[in-house]
Amino acid sequence: MGIIVRAETPADCAAVAAVHVRAWQVAYAGIVPDDVLAALDVPARTAWRLDRLADPDSLFHNLVALDGAMVSGFVCHGPYRAQELDGGPLQPEVGEILAIYVHPDHWGTGTGDALLLAALDALPQSEVRLWALADNHRALRFYARHGLHPDGLRATYRPHGSDVDIPELRCTLRRG
């Protein structure tokens, strides 16, 4: 049947939250503190997703990948959030992949490729950016295969409930 990518619906939120939590726990083991990974909560993440999805003014779009009837991954995309670094407004002339996660059982199946390509197709901007943890080498290789390479900008990410700053890299794709 193949991988189907479509818009996320409220009925998907619990499954997406479960994918999100499990992907973090596996992909970020040894990068993000263990206590942060252990504290990730599917019901809380589900409620957060439902709130975000219900916002009619949101400029961010969520897509899910289905393997049969099962949600195997998701991606969120929209305008670049420059305010994350400098307090400025959104930069709609630049696109951003805000999040892309695939359940570890589906790594290497083409799910991530399908999600990333769908998000890139949906973003009209000639420049697309994303942030990745500097030590997440698997993800950085994946992004590079799709033309997203570190552009020299670095920052740190502090997980909620942690006092640890984790280095991250901005990756950029310039098209046409």
pLDDT digits (tens, 9 = 90+) for 94-120: 999 999 999 999 999 999 999 999 999
pLDDT recorded at residue 164:
94
Q: Are 127 and 96 in contact (CB under 8 A)?
A: no
**Residue 20, pLDDT score:** 98
pLDDT tens string 23-80: 999 999 999 999 999 999 999 999 999 999 999 999 999 999 999 999 999 999 999 9
Between 86 and 13, the higher pLDDT residue: 13
Fill in the DSSP letter of residue 32: B
C-alpha distances (whole Å) from 12 to each of 33, 71, 74, 97 are 28, 7, 10, 19
pLDDT at 156: 93
Distance CA 40, CA 25 (A): 8
Token digits of residue 117: 């390509």
CA–CA distance, 167 with 110 (Å, rounded to integer) = 28
Q: Is the model's pLDDT at 87 over the cut of 70?
A: no
Q: Where are the alpha helices (DSSP H) in the chain?
A: 13-27, 34-38, 42-54, 83-86, 111-122, 137-145
% of the chain exceeding 70 in pLDDT: 96
Report the first-to-last Cα separation within the chain, whole angstroms: 33
pLDDT at 85: 58
Residue whose pair of structure tokens reads 């400029």 in the numeric block: 59
Where does the pLDDT of residue 160 fall: very low under 50, low under 70, confident under 90, or very high at 90 and above? confident
The pLDDT value given to residue 176: 80
pLDDT of residue 89: 80
Measured CA to CA, the distance from residue 21 to residue 42 in angstroms comes to 7
Given a contact cutoff of 8 angstroms between Cβ atoms, the answer to whether 90 and 129 are in contact is: no
Please provide the average confidence, as pLDDT, over all residues in the chain: 95
| Residue 1: per-residue pLDDT | 66
- Sorting pLDDT into bands at 50, 70 and 90, what band is 83? low
